[in-house]
């Protein structure tokens, strides 16, 4: 039952992220136009080694890997070490680092650089 609930929340994040990607705008209270190509799925061993190849992609959907590095992300990001500049959605990892965020981080180390509380262990969020 818990797994179904988690999957339902993840699916909601992905759906909202996909619609934001189609509009070519982020949801941080500013109308930033995406300047890089967007992919709905990214599977990495260590960025840039993965599918799609390279680090010139933004992701709107799902990203998995050991080390995930993305400039603009919307959706569900799962990895050991996750790093983003702009993030909207759910980050799951041992270490999660982002500059700006609209969403939730779950992990041992969670850092949102442009937040009132930049560091929290286990759980961090900004809305």
> From residue 121, how far is each of 83, 97, 107 by CA, in Å?
16, 12, 7
pLDDT tier, 32 (very low <50, low <70, confident <90, very high otherwise): low
Per-residue confidence band for 54, with pLDDT thresholds at 50, 70 and 90? confident
**pLDDT above 80 for 5:** no
Domain residues for the domain of 120 are 2-126
d(CA 28, CA 81): 23
Among 10-14, 37-41, 92-96, the range with the most confident prediction by mean pLDDT is 92-96
Checking if the pLDDT of 24 tops 50, the result is no
Residues 68-97 have pLDDT tens digits of 999 999 999 999 999 999 999 999 999 999
> Taking the CB of residue 3, how many other CB atoms lie within 10 A of it?
7
Q: How many domains does the chain have?
A: 1
89-98, 101-110, 117-126: segment of lowest average pLDDT: 117-126
């Amino acid at each position: 039952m818990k797994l179904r609930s988690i999957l339902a929340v993840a699916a909601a994040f992905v759906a909202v992220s996909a619609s934001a990607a189609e509009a070519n705008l982020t949801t941080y209270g500013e109308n930033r136009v995406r300047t890089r190509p967007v992919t709905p799925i990214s599977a990495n061993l260590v960025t840039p080694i993965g599918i799609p190849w390279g680090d010139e992609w933004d992701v709107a959907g799902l990203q998995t890997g050991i080390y995930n590095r993305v400039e603009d992300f919307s959706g569900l990001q799962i990895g050991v070490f996750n790093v983003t500049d702009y993030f909207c959605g759910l980050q799951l990892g041992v270490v999660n680092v982002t500059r700006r965020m609209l969403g939730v981080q779950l992990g041992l180390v969670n850092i949102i650089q442009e937040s009132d509380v930049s560091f929290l262990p286990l759980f961090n969020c900004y809305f």
